[in-house]
């Protein structure tokens, strides 16, 4: 790794490239909207008034900084590295997603666009978007696949209670990819009045950069907090990877610290067999999906493959382009956890630390469970606890308790 020069601040380039990944593959009709958005974001980033408003709301409305919690009992149980949890689960609405939703609604306000649309998988991004739309008095439409609406019924109700309209998507696999397609279709039609709050470090430029920047605070805080606690940097960072926003938010401020290993955990579903998982770095390939060139799951003809995960938030065929880049140069590593391993880790954290994690997060925890015992007691792991498991109670109860709960 010593031969690689890493300059995270220089990425992406002006056209949104992270090495050969990223870019902006967009229809002609959205060109102007993307240019406007990029310009508005660059201005906002440099504007102290924008940064001050964002910082104030992150503190008082969202609940930052989040604690870095030493998981003492789990550490003892695993008998190796000291495990710290970055508690994004304690944020308003229950996951990291609100960092980005808040940043983007402030941009929409600057752009003078009174209508908000978003896609959602597990519903956490939909809830975060519906929340900030309510807070700023914007109209809000959320697109969600009908399969996801069933497995995340609680979040559907939350969005509706917050005043958003939830539109079920019946195309294709009826999950996240189709919801993104519908949101893009809406945007093309209503681009003058509407801002699309994309929910992960995905899609065409400037989204991967912007979403990363809004989540970077996770790593900035974690870096300061671990230095206070341990007086040195962590040995390992772990986060689950759907599109990759919570992972990139944690990893980014540590990329230049060569001694810090970073592992992203993808959804291994029923195992690495075609159509049974969503682990893009296990048998995926280079391709273009929904505006960006990245690592994705496609067959020999380039057709996007079906995906499966117990967690709706990781169930997507492409990974964010910045992850693809750092994977290629060997700075970040990727592994996967199966549904069963994630459920196992879900139960462990609940019963050993009294923290019910999101099923997405449980994938990161499953890897910690494997790796911590192989590390020394003087070593440390920071794992991003990206969200809480309230939304997953019905599903987890079915799998772990054999009980059917209806919301
Ligand atoms: C949406 C979600 C994820 C996956 O999205 P990323 O963009 O990869 O972070 C992970 N954890 C939780 C709790 C989520 O809601």
Among the atoms of ligand 1, which is closest to the Cα of residue 248? 9
- Let me know if 119 is a catalytic residue: yes
Give me ligand 1 centre to Cα 3, in Å.
32
State residue 220's pLDDT score. 98
Ligand 1: which of 211, 279, 358, 389 to mutate, most ligand atoms within 8 Å of CB?
A: 358
Give me ligand 1 centre to Cα 287, in Å.
22
The alpha carbons of the chain give a radius of gyration, in whole angstroms, of 20
Cβ of 16 below 6 Å from ligand 1: no
pLDDT tens, per residue, the chain with 407 residues: 445 678 999 999 999 999 999 999 999 999 999 999 999 999 999 999 999 999 999 999 999 999 999 999 999 999 999 999 999 999 999 999 999 999 999 999 999 999 999 999 989 999 999 999 999 999 999 999 999 998 888 999 999 999 999 999 999 989 899 999 999 999 999 999 999 999 999 999 999 999 999 999 999 999 999 999 999 999 999 999 999 999 999 999 999 999 999 999 999 999 999 999 999 999 899 999 999 999 999 999 999 999 999 998 999 999 999 999 999 999 999 999 999 999 999 999 999 999 999 999 999 999 999 999 999 999 999 999 999 999 999 999 999 999 988 76
- Listed in sequence order, the residues at least 6 apart from 34 whose beta carbon sits closer than 8 Å to its beta carbon are 24, 26, 204, 205, 206
Among the atoms of ligand 1, which is closest to the Cα of residue 314? 4
Q: Which among 86, 88, 113, 119 is annotated as catalytic?
A: 119
Q: Are 360 and 392 in contact (CB under 8 A)?
A: no
Indicate which residue's Cα is closest to atom 1 of ligand 1. 313
Indicate which residue's Cα is closest to atom 10 of ligand 1. 360
Cβ of 313 below 6 Å from ligand 1: yes
State residue 2's pLDDT score. 47
- Cis check: omega of the bond before 127, within 30 degrees of 0: no
Cα–Cα distances (Å) from 49 to 63, 197, 396, in that order, read 20, 21, 43
What is the token pair recorded at 31?
């060109």
Beta-carbon neighbour count of residue 233 at 10 Å? Answer: 15
State residue 5's pLDDT score. 77
> To 5 degrees, how large is the angle CA 302–CA 307–CA 309?
160
State residue 1's pLDDT score. 45
Which tens digit of pLDDT belongs to each residue from 189-244? 999 999 999 999 999 999 999 999 999 999 999 999 999 999 999 999 999 999 99
- Look-up of token digits 């870095």: 68
Q: For the whole prediction, is pTM greater than 0.85?
A: yes
State residue 152's pLDDT score. 87
Indicate which residue's Cα is closest to atom 4 of ligand 1. 242
Give me ligand 1 centre to Cα 279, in Å.
14
The count of residues in the chain is: 407
| Torsion of the alpha carbons at 213, 214, 216 and 220, rounded to the nearest 10 | 120
Distance CA 142, CA 127 (A): 9
Cβ of 200 below 6 Å from ligand 1: yes
- Let me know if 97 is a catalytic residue: yes
State residue 3's pLDDT score. 56
Distance CA 260, CA 332 (A): 10
State residue 405's pLDDT score. 82
State residue 4's pLDDT score. 67
Q: Which among 86, 97, 177, 369 is annotated as catalytic?
A: 97
Q: Which among 200, 309, 311, 386 is annotated as catalytic?
A: 386
Among the atoms of ligand 1, which is closest to the Cα of residue 357? 13
Give me ligand 1 centre to Cα 66, in Å.
16
Ligand 1: which of 239, 242, 356 to mutate, most ligand atoms within 8 Å of CB?
A: 242
Burial of 91 (0-12, 13-18, 19+ CB in 10 A): buried
């Amino acid at each position: 790794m010593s031969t690689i020069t890493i300059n995270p601040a220089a990425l992406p380039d002006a056209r949104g490239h992270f090495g050969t990944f990223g870019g902006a593959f967009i229809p002609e009709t959205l060109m102007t909207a993307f240019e406007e958005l990029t310009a508005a974001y660059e201005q906002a980033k440099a504007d102290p008034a924008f940064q001050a408003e964002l910082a104030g709301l992150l503190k008082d409305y969202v609940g930052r900084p989040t604690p870095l919690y030493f998981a003492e009992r789990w550490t003892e149980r695993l008998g190796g590295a000291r495990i710290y949890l970055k508690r994004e689960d304690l944020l308003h609405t229950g996951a990291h997603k609100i960092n980005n939703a808040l940043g983007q609604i402030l941009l929409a306000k600057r752009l003078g666009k009174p209508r908000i649309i978003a896609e959602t998988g597990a519903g956490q991004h939909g809830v975060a978007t519906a929340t900030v739309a309510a807070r700023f008095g914007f109209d809000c439409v959320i697109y969600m696949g009908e399969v996801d609406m069933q497995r995340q019924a609680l979040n559907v109700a939350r969005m509706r209670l917050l005043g958003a309209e939830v539109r079920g998507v019946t195309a294709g696999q009826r999950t996240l990819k189709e919801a993104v397609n519908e949101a893009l279709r809406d945007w093309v039609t209503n681009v003058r009045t509407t801002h699309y709050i994309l929910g992960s470090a995905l899609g065409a430029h400037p989204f991967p950069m912007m979403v990363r920047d809004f989540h970077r605070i996770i790593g900035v805080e974690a870096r300061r907090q671990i230095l206070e606690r341990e007086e040195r940097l962590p040995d390992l960072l772990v986060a689950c990877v759907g599109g990759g926003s919570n992972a990139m938010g944690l990893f980014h401020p540590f990329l230049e610290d060569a001694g810090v290993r970073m592992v992203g955990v993808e959804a291994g579903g029923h195992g690495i067999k075609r159509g049974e998982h969503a682990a893009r770095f296990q048998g995926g390939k280079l391709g273009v999906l929904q505006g960006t060139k990245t690592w994705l799951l496609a067959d020999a003809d380039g057709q996007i493959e079906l995906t499966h995960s117990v967690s709706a938030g990781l169930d997507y065929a492409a990974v964010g382009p910045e992850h693809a880049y750092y994977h290629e140069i060997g700075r970040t590593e990727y592994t996967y956890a199966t549904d069963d391993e994630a459920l196992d880790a879900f139960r462990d954290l609940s019963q050993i630390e009294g923290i019910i994690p999101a099923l997405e997060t449980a994938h990161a925890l499953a890897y910690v469970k494997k790796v911590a015992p192989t590390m020394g007691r003087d070593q440390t792991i920071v794992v991003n606890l990206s969200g809480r498991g309230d939304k997953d109670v019905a599903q987890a109860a079915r799998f772990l308790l054999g009980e059917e709960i209806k919301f």
